[in-house]
Amino acid sequence: MLEEAWQFLITHPSQFATALGVHVALSAAALAIAAGIAIPVGIVAAHRPRAAFAAINVANIGRTLPSLAVLALVMPLLGTGFLPSLFALSLLALPPILINTLVGIRGIDAEVVDAARGMGMTARGILAKIEWPLALPVIFAGLRTAAIQVISGAVLAAFIGGGGLGDFITAGIAMMAVPQLLVGAIPVTLLALGADYAFGALQRRITPRGLRVA
Amino acid sequence: MTWFLRNFDQVAVALGQHVIIALMALVIAFAIALPVGIIAARRARVYAFAITVAGFLYTIPTLAFLALLIPLVGLGRTNAIVAMVAFSLVVLIRNVATGIRGVAPDVVDAARGMGMSARQVLLRIELPLASPVIVAGLRVAAVTVISVTVVAAYVNAGGLGTLIFNGIAGDHAPKIWSGALTACALAVAVDGALALVEHHLARSSAG
């Protein structure tokens, strides 16, 4: 079966390369858009208790929504294709990044911030030199969760014409062609595991030395 | 909205299937995770091993997992349930183990000093005190399982995803809306209900 899958892969190289490229582009763009929105919003809201409370609650609801339901809801509104899929996946990636940005900044020991203020640091300086580096590992954990969710969600984008590796899986299931299905399922699994590993390694690297657990 | 109301029976059947599949998966996953979590709470190596394996399973994209199971178990409900059990193990095992580890050693010592057996300590002290954390794990697992069930309609498992896929295939928006919004409502409602249970347990075990 694996041999047949390999045969399918080497006889359809450009089709596979396109699907892989679309999958990676869709996932990376969705993650970048979500991070570009959720991190600044999280930083601003973290210093306002009411806004933080509201943001956490909204994000918690967003986190519970089934990925396929979100993709399906976007379709009647925006149609099918790459951009509607990107929109839906960006929405799905927002909650974990937003929650972790808020938790990361609010979880910082108040005494540390007080000490910095006592030393005469401005709010801006505190954000750049204290809060950001201390919260970064937690924010990165959020990015890691979001990345896995987006790579998994991008498989479902095949249902609304978003392309990607999910196309092989849906076609394989529809025709009960197991080799074709494997050509989608195995690479996308490796992609998710690879992203998880890479984000985990990065997360350890950016953790300030004093916070590292041996 | 009119489609939803006129075809309410159809939505209700799909919702019923959805709840049954999700519940079956959750019960099986919990039956596996509870003993594994209890052992993992006491042995760091078992914990590391169980979390690594279950974490690996959790990372596999949903549809890929369902697809990879087709050569092994074919299409249908079994396929969906195996995938869902695999996806919910990591959070359940982690929360059972951390919940038990979080019980104050003094409390366990006191119970032992009163002559309780290891079994009694587990059943009467550790598990009740760990219950808020265990329910928190069940809450995340329930949401995961509901989400996976939507996709599982594609491998003929039934449930609300059936409405979504039929709607997409027939380009019938009201059907998509009905399936997707009902699935969202179910997830939010179950999450909220288990959050209440979690807070109630946290309060009663703290007081």
| pLDDT tens, position by position, A147-184 | 999 999 999 999 999 999 999 999 999 888 889 999 99
Distance in angstroms (rounded) separating the CA atoms of residues A32 and A47: 24
Can you say how many angstroms the Cα of residue B113 is from the centroid of all Cα atoms in its chain? 37
Please state the ipTM of this predicted complex.
Answer: 0.89
Q: Is residue A11 in a domain? A: yes
Residue A197 · residue B55 · CB < 8 Å: no
Instruction: Give the residue numbers spanning the domain of A130.
Output: 2-209
Distance in angstroms (rounded) separating the CA atoms of residues B146 and B168: 20
Q: A169: which chain B residues are within 8 Å (Cβ-Cβ)?
A: 63-64, 67
Return the pLDDT at B5: 82
Mean pLDDT by 10 residues, chain B (207 residues): 83 94 96 97 95 94 94 91 95 96 93 92 94 96 95 92 93 92 96 95 77
**Angle (CA) B122 B123 B125, round 5°:** 70
Q: Measured between CB atoms, which of B61, B168, B184 is closest to A189?
A: B61
Distance in angstroms (rounded) separating the CA atoms of residues A21 and B168: 25
| Assessment of whether the complete model's pTM goes beyond 0.80 | yes
Select from B63, B147, B172, B194 the residue whose CB has the most chain A CBs within 10 Å, as the one to mutate to test that interface: B63
**How many beta-carbon contacts under 8 Å exist across A and B?**
121
Q: Is the pLDDT of residue A22 over 70?
A: yes
Chain B residues whose C-beta sits inside 8 Å of any chain A C-beta: 56, 59-65, 67-68, 70-71, 75, 143, 146-147, 150-151, 154-155, 161, 164-165, 167-168, 173, 176-177, 179-181, 183-184, 187-188, 191
Q: Where are chain B's structural domains? A: 2-206
Nearest chain A CA: its distance from B102 CA (Å): 19
State the DSSP code for B1. -
pLDDT tens track for A75-134: 989 999 999 999 999 999 999 999 999 999 999 988 988 999 999 999 889 998 899 999
Q: How confident is the model at residue A213 (pLDDT cuts 50, 70, 90)?
A: low
Q: Is the pLDDT of residue A25 over 60?
A: yes
CATH class assigned to B2-206: mainly alpha
Nearest in space to B161 (alpha carbons), one of B15, B12, B62: B15
Return the pLDDT at B207: 53
Q: Looking at residue A145, which CATH number applies to its domain?
A: 1.10.3720.10
Residue B148 · residue B87 · CB < 8 Å: yes
Residue B51 · residue B93 · CB < 8 Å: yes
Kindly report the average pLDDT of chain A as a whole number.
92
* Number of domains forming the structure of chain A: 1
Q: How confident is the model at residue A11 (pLDDT cuts 50, 70, 90)?
A: confident
Please give the single-letter amino acid code of residue B142. Answer: A
Nearest in space to B200 (alpha carbons), one of B110, B125, B139: B139
The pair of three-digit structure tokens given for residue A96, joined into one six-digit string: 């974990």
Q: Is the pLDDT of residue A214 over 90?
A: no
Q: Is residue A214 in a domain? A: no
Q: Do B59 and A160 touch (CB under 8 A)?
A: no
